[in-house]
Amino acid sequence: TQLLEQSPQFLSIQEGENLTVYCNSSSVFSSLQWYRQEPGEGPVLLVTVVTGGEVKKLKRLTFQFGDARKDSSLHITAAQPGDTGLYLCAGADGSWGKFQFGAGTQVVVTP
């Protein structure tokens, strides 16, 4: 059973457009992480959010943690082909850092 639901599953946009990826759960998480994974490689950590309502920015990427710590979003402004990849969210249950992963959103940005 997948505790974290990501939407959409697939997103194809043109360079310069904006996009938002969502990560939703009925569970409360002590922290939530976003990763990007490229073909043939392991996921790479982008950001960790720990406080309800927290907003973090990483260049053109904006991450938000919901007030109730059950959901999160990733917004990319003016997407570039280098943003292409599988975006994964992962929630920690508060123990040592045992994570539940969402199924991922495949983002394709075409020039």
Site for other proteins in 63-102 (CB under 8 A): 88, 90, 92, 94, 96-99, 101-102
Tokens of 65: 């943690």
Give which of 1, 18, 15, 20 is closest to 87, Cα–Cα. Answer: 20
Q: Please, which residue, 35 or 61, has the CB nearer to other proteins?
A: 35
Tokens of 41: 């490689």
- Per CB under 8 A, the segment of 12-20, 37-45, 59-67, 72-80 that binds other proteins is 37-45
CA-to-CA distance for 99 and 58, rounded, in angstroms? 22
Residues that bind other proteins (CB under 8 A): 2, 4, 9, 30-31, 33, 40-45, 48, 50, 88, 90, 92, 94, 96-99, 101-104
